[in-house]
Chains A and B, each alone.
Chain A
Amino acid sequence: METILPILYLVASITFIVGLKMLGSPKTARQGNLIAAFGMVLAIAGTIFLYRGHSGEALHNVPFILAALVVGTGIGWMMAMKVKMTAMPQMVSFFNGMGGACAALISLMEYKATGGAPMGLGHGLATIAGLLIGSISFSGSIIAFGKLEERIKDIRFGGQQFINNAALLAALVIGGLIVAGQMSGFEIVVGLAVLSLIFGVLFVLPIGGADMPVVISLLNSFTGVAAACGGFLYGNMVMLIGGILVGSAGTLLTVVMCRAMNRSLLNVLIGNFQGSGATGAAAGATGTIREVSATDAAVLMAYAKQVVIVPGYGLAVAQAQHVCHQLEHELEAKGVTVKYAIHPVAGRMPGHMNVLLAEADVSYDKLVEMEEINPEFPNTDVVLVVGANDVVNPAAKTDPQSPIYGMPVLDVELSRQVIVMKRSMKAGYAGIDNDLFYRPNTSMLFGDAKTSLTSLVTEVKAL
């Protein structure tokens, strides 16, 4: 009996490693996810029924544990099934926060169980680290969730960075004193949890909405580390392996995402404290803009050889992916070649656009990545930019003063005609003006992406 559970844990650990590996390739990703899920079920079921404590006794409260599992499964399943594809990133953030809170609660209860007796260095360190990291991950993820839902605005105030650093330092010092046995008591540990929660909020509040994917990815790896602390606490290998694996893979993923935006992680995390607003507006983004009517835009596209659609977050918020597919369909019926140019960070997360367009049945081979589509722009008659802004800003190539200078962008301005669909002249997420809108071969089609696309479909059909 005693050897079955460790073997189950071993199998589960292997499914996590293999699953994560398979998630890295489009062909095997889905099986990879299912394999890891299977391993998780094994580990959970094994723990409930086969776990034996130090004195060899089975777990108590099994009916309650099962009840909690049922409740959690019901809520989790419903939320995950009901969420719209556009809202995926914030859903991931929410579930990540739940994991963080779970880790923090474990530490809290573990501390309570010791009854204030000295814990020993390893045990104490794992408990306090799990509490700190789990709490930060929870409150940070919830703020990130709120930001992506557009319920929470970016908040910046004077001395914020100082307050953040002070809060973090205080939490670390108190945590250190508890581990060293200089401070003790359940109330103090609860206070530490509250302080960590506050730090999590302060830490994410000033970071701009466009950088949330990076923050979520970072908090994701935090939760991994918090889970690993729990693994150390119980000498539980599957928690340790799963947690560390996600912690390290998540950290690398965070760095890779930053690199795709040509920024450093540090710049993402504290960049917003420096140079607020003054940058970027400087260079050359002046002149007149030209508006185009849906009718004229439809004519331009219907008589083109090749049209490239550049989708951005505007398409996602307007839920316009289906209408977009319809437009593609109508244009192809007129003999136009239609392609989609996918910038690596278009939307709210890398790959977000691919998921959205795939949902609308856009064929996978029509989605062309940036490196492949860029040489094609000079031979493209019309580029239709749907709610994208920073990813088509030529300033990234020409203006060293621009905050996005150096970020790889789509060379849409090289095509014969650019039609930009936008709600207003408001700047993009980076908060900078876009010189593209003032170019002679650019015209603007103002309005909600879905409404504009719908009228384009009608106009193209009528031709």
Chain B
Amino acid sequence: MDSSTLQIIYLVILMIFLGVELIGHVPSVLHTPLMSGANAIHGVVIIGSIIVMGEATDMLSMILGFLAVILGTLNVVGGFVVTNRMLEMFRKKQ
């Protein structure tokens, strides 16, 4: 196992603990927006689709890549907009 793989494993373990720590004491009222916000964040997968699309050379890869970028964008844009709409509801009242 080379050292960069090892570093990634360290990072993964730290992030697991950080994720648990971040969510630990959230009131249940916020669970839905929180899930929605987390949903938007994993839209970061779009970066990967941009990279494969940018390196695609044949037709099939182009089509799949184009589709992947659209789906990833849906995840990102839809995720953040829906979360924002939900949270707007809370803001007005406080």
Contact = CB atoms under 8 A, between A and B. Distances in A.
Interface of A: 12, 16-17, 19-21, 23-27, 29-30, 32-34, 36-37, 40, 43-44, 47-48, 51, 53, 58-62, 64-65, 67-69, 71-73, 75-77, 79-81, 83, 85, 88-89, 91-92, 94-96, 98-99, 101-103, 105-106, 108-110, 112-113, 122, 213, 216-217, 220-221, 223-224, 226-228, 230-253, 256-257, 260, 342, 344-345, 349-352, 354-355, 358-359, 361-364, 369
Contact of A249 (B23, B28, B45, B60): B23
A36 B5 CA distance: 27
7 contacts: A19-B41, A27-B94, A44-B47, A47-B51, A102-B75, A253-B26, A344-B28
A254 B40 CA distance: 17
A234 B91 contact: no
A112 B48 CA distance: 15
B69 A26 contact: no
B90 A68 contact: no
Contacts of A257: 31
Interface of B: 4-5, 8, 11-12, 15-20, 22-57, 60-62, 64-94
A203 to B, nearest CB: 19
Contact of A239 (B12, B16, B32, B48): B48
Given A40-B76, A59-B50, A88-B82, 9 more contacts: A20-B34, A47-B50, A53-B55, A92-B39, A98-B78, A109-B52, A236-B51, A344-B28, A351-B29
A426 to B, nearest CB: 26
A350 B29 contact: yes
B19 A248 contact: yes
A103 B51 contact: no
Contact of B51 (A59, A75, A223): A59
B32 A350 contact: yes
Contact of B87 (A24, A29, A113): A29
A95 B31 contact: no
Contact of A250 (B35, B43, B84, B87): B35
Nearest to A12: B44
B31 A349 contact: yes
Contacts of A213: 32, 35
A262 to B, nearest CB: 13
